Structure 1
């Protein structure tokens, strides 16, 4: 089982390289994607590369992004505590709908309110440490996205993002390193890359740091749609 390495400048570039690997091999184990400028986000992607908006049976790219970072809400609410409160209010209301009952939640929820530990805001802790610690290149700060108390073993389904790590480099540059146990390159991966880039940008803006790279380890990368649909989506 040989690892594969792909790279791109933007989230779209990195995703397209991963798509080519998945189309060539059907599925890839241990796919490593490096994105040099993950904070770049072209709103035209929301139409051009969204399965649902392109008429395929699949996810809406906007909603995938917002499971990681609510970029539209963050544009309207500059105050971080208010952003967290308003997000959780909307999230909790949505979870009361019948269609959402039994779902595990969202990644952003777990970043700002960890299951069974409602006062644990991992995102704010990381921002605080980056803002108050002495300059320490090489320091790493970790996010946990899954919990054995809530997340029963399953072959597919969320949460697929398991782990995140902010790496503090010389020059106050921050990389974001993430691990996904399963990664659907038709429905999820592009939205994940965009959302992670926007999350990194948010952390850097709040802590006075410079965004670096996104490095993603997809333990199992696959196509959750049809071959021709994925090829058309990535064109």
Structure 2
């Protein structure tokens, strides 16, 4: 039996579908250490949009959040679209207390100004963007920036697990625990995301879309191009039964419809 299960494709959507089909082929629809490799996370094809409609229809029919809501837990794309970077860094954290649910969103953890840097409160995302700007502008010398270099790449890490808030939780813990960004010598930005547990029906595709939006935001702020996205699901589940409201047969039918959406010609209006 393989220890690692790797799935690689071009877009977030096509990679998710291949991984979900892999899970569906397992006796319990579960695998440990599923690693997704997405070559062009910023690309969305017409076929991808067709699949999104199929999956969204299923999720909404089961009283689950649509893809856009799941993506929004990682990056507030709506704020960025309507108000630019200022809305992301300033308006979203200010409005967040009115929107907060459960333990909170990953976007809030990244954008909450709780880190003391240069004698002022900053967010993890602000610090990350500034580090990348300095690296891109002035070079990537170890002595100048006191950052580890590995094979010509600069490591930028964001830890999303908060011990004080999360250590006593058994249920309801955040599933996304760590983001590791890399600045490549050719000014591409890549990202590796670590999930302790991943629900492939309800969450994973929306998560991937949110991570891609986060990458695009950072790249635009710094002046970089988009590199690959790697997502490591230490436990991947094609969830069904229990309190989900659907059976494995429903998920298998959903995946069949998703595959058909990707394979069918897209009508251009």
What is the TM-score when the length of structure 2 is the normalising length?
0.78
Q: For residue 71 of structure 1, what is the aligned residue in structure 2?
A: 77
Gaps of 5+ in 1: none
Q: Which runs of 4+ in 1 moved over 6 A?
A: 114-118
Report the structure number with the largest CA radius of gyration: 2
Question: Which is further off, 147-156 or 203-212?
Answer: 147-156
Kindly state the Cα deviation for residue 230 of structure 1 after the two structures are TM-superposed.
Answer: 2.6
Gaps of 5+ in 2: 141-151, 241-246, 259-269
Deviation string 1:95-150 (CA, Å, 9 cap, x unpaired) is: 3xxxx3xx110001011116697934111111111111233341110011111110
**Structure 2 matches for 1:84-163, cutoff 5 A?**
84-95=89-100, 100=101, 103-113=102-112, 119-133=121-135, 134-136=138-140, 137-163=152-178
Structure 1 residue aligned with 2:67, among 61, 73, 76?
A: 61
Are positions 1:17 and 2:32 aligned together?
Answer: no
Cα RMSD (Å) of the superposition? 2.1
Kindly state the Cα deviation for residue 181 of structure 1 after the two structures are TM-superposed.
Answer: 0.1
Question: Which is further off, 83-92 or 193-202?
Answer: 83-92
Deviation string 1:137-185 (CA, Å, 9 cap, x unpaired) is: 4111001111111003545434100000111112101110010000000
Structure with the larger helix share: 2
Q: For residue 228 of structure 1, what is the aligned residue in structure 2?
A: 249
Kindly state the Cα deviation for residue 187 of structure 1 after the two structures are TM-superposed.
Answer: 0.4
State the aligned residue count.
227
Are positions 1:182 and 2:168 aligned together?
Answer: no
Are positions 1:208 and 2:223 aligned together?
Answer: yes
Kindly state the Cα deviation for residue 202 of structure 1 after the two structures are TM-superposed.
Answer: 0.5
